[in-house]
Amino acid sequence: MRDRTQRPPNCVTRKRRQHVALPAQAHNGGEPDPRDLKRAPWILWQGDPPAISFPGLLDRVVGQATRSPRALRYLIEGWLRDFVPHGSGVISAGLAIQRRLADSSDARMDPWQAAHSRFRLFDAADGPATLAAAILSAPQPVATVLEAACFNDQARAISGYLRSVQAELLERLPVELERPAGPVRLTRACIFLINGNALRFDDTHTVIAKILCKPWLPETARSPKAEVQREVRDFLVAHLGNPQLKPGRWDGAQSEAALIKRWLARASLKVFFELIAEHARDRHWKYREAFWSACIEIGAIDDAWLALGTRVHASARANQELGDAFGRMTGTGASASVLLLKVGPIVLAEWSHDGPLRAWPVEQAPKLGRRSYTRDDIVVPCLAFPGDPFGSGGREQVATGLVHRESERGGWQRRAALLLARHANVRLQQTDWHLR
């Protein structure tokens, strides 16, 4: 049977009255009403100043808990709910709970005794860290660990104690992600960070983004496994929102948002060229893939957005790789797909079928992140591509874009590389995009 005594008793009016009466009685040296004293744990760490700051009040509450199992349960619940590691009286109240549990013969205290024995639950200094370590590395599922620690109740699931456990877990996580067991640790951490369908503590979403992205910032040659990167990307996009679509949710984590955009750009590029391979008859696609993959590898592509054409029936792959982070081509001439790439101050558009490469200054370009585009949105005047310094692949033309000619000889690639150097200060060598 469910223990109903774990819920705060009675109504908010009584709690407010109690918040005034109990401290006043304690301050004046009087004895509080035993009924009010029994409920005092619900306000010990609330108010300004908190009730626990009044002399003798905690001793009276502990004394009541010694004589009444229900009062002890109230003290435990209040302590967990309002837990702050270095809060006034938190350590001494935790020690008092440990003593009361050790002396208790009430069977209803057995789960709490077991939880403290395994996780040092009521040790304010070590308990949250011990539970965090178990969540990350215990052989049992995360839900089993939380149940063993008595946090299977929904009210405790968002308690101050678990907020401290989360802080301990996040502090350990960046190092764990770089170890061989990183994928397992990350999965367990993500399970804990969620309560129901949302973040357990949504007000910590910026901190979570910073911690999960920390192993990749600043971007270095060495980083955790690709499967870890993908899970981090998918988790943050699912619970903070896609930074391409919901930039406001990433306030305070702009570097992390930029990193996720680059990861999504890589995924968009992958989907785009997989679809070309399956649905287009463009013999130049492998050269285009090599060129843009080289741009990805040197970190030149800041953002990307894929608009699927009507010929493509493989949008399930886009859903798998990109979630909802893609648009569609609509209207007349919408059979081909388009990939928009942001490189510094310019945006480029690549077609999945026949169609020249186009580039514009950002302010004149089609906007990334839209749900639908027409061909007229893309086929608009654009920047001129420089001529090929080796005299092949065409001369500089205005407004019409770059046709993918002489791919085998690097004709259009050299012209595209020169445009990137001219307008975005991106330096590509022929060895970077040479087809291997």
List, for residues 303-357, the tens digit of each pLDDT value: 999 998 887 655 666 667 777 788 999 998 788 889 999 999 999 999 987 789 9
426 occurs within a structural domain: yes
Q: Report, in angstroms and rounded to the nearest whole number, the Rg of the chain calculated over CA atoms.
A: 30
Flag whether 371 is in a domain. yes
What was the pLDDT predicted at 427?
A: 94
State residue 34's pLDDT score. Answer: 62
Burial class (CB in 10 A: 0-12, 13-18, 19+), 205: buried
- The domain of 114 spans 4-188+201-212
Task: Please count the residues of the chain.
Answer: 436
Q: How many angstroms separate the CA atoms of 89 and 436, rounded?
A: 67
* Residue 206 in domain: yes
Instruction: Tell me the C-alpha distance between 82 and 91, whole Å.
Output: 13
Whether residues 179 and 292 share a domain: the answer is: no
My answer on whether 332 and 413 are in the same domain is yes
Residues 208 and 325 in one domain: no
Strands (E), 135-211: 194-195, 198-199
Tokens representing residue 245 in the block: 């679509």
**Contact assessment for residue 309 and residue 315, using Cβ atoms and an 8 Å cutoff:** no
Percentage of the chain lying above the pLDDT 70 cut: 85
DSSP-derived letter for residue 8 is P
Domain identity same for 309 and 207: no
- Give the pLDDT score at 38: 67
For residues 133 and 19, state if they share a domain: yes
**Residues 77 and 183 both lie in one domain:** yes
Give the pLDDT confidence score for residue 394 in this predicted structure: 55
- pTM value is 0.82
What pLDDT, on a 0 to 100 scale, did the predictor assign at position 420?
Answer: 97
With contact defined as beta carbons under 8 Å apart, do 191 and 183 qualify?
no
Specify the pLDDT at position 42. 83
Instruction: Tell whether 220 is covered by a domain.
Output: no
Same domain, 278 and 386: yes
45 vs 11, more confident = 45
Q: At residue 295, does pLDDT exceed 50? A: yes
Are residues 148 and 276 located together in one domain of the fold?
no
Same domain, 33 and 181: yes
Which helix (H) or strand (E) is 160 found in, with range?
helix 160-177
In a domain, 263, yes or no: no
Domain end, chosen from 163, 180, 212, is at 212
Phi, psi for residue 194 in degrees, rounded to 5: -105, 140
Residue 294: band (very low, low, confident or very high) from pLDDT cuts 50, 70, 90: very high
What is the pLDDT, as a whole number, of residue 2?
Answer: 41
> Cα separations (Å) of 432 from 52, 286, 294, 345, 350?
66, 14, 6, 22, 19
Kindly state the average pLDDT of the residues 405-423: 92
According to the model, what pLDDT value does residue 317 have?
65
Say if 246 falls within a structural domain. Answer: no
Q: Say whether both 20 and 164 belong to one domain.
A: yes
Closest CA relative to residue 327, chosen from 207, 245, 228, 254: 245
- 221 pLDDT more than 60: no
Alpha-carbon dihedral angle through residues 311, 316, 320, 326, given to the nearest 10 degrees: 40
Would you state the pLDDT for residue 15?
Answer: 46
| pLDDT(233) > 70 | yes
Same domain, yes or no: 205 and 285: no
Residue 11 lies in a domain: yes
In whole angstroms, what is the distance from residue 141 CA to residue 138 CA?
A: 8
Average pLDDT (146-150) is 97
Rounded to the nearest integer, the mean pLDDT of the chain is 86
pLDDT tens column, 30-83: 555 666 666 788 888 887 788 888 888 888 888 888 888 888 999 999 999 999
| Better-scored residue on pLDDT, 21 or 144 | 144
How sure is the predictor about 393, in pLDDT bands with cuts at 50, 70 and 90? Answer: low
* CA pair distance 400, 412, nearest whole angstrom: 14
Overall number of domains in the chain: 2
Query: Quick one: average pLDDT of 283-299?
Result: 87
For residue 375, being part of any structural domain is answered with yes
Cα separation, 160 vs 150, in Å, equals 14
pLDDT greater than 90 at residue 301: yes
> What is the rounded (10 degree) CA torsion for 119, 124, 125, 127?
10
Say if residue 182 is in the same domain as residue 278: no
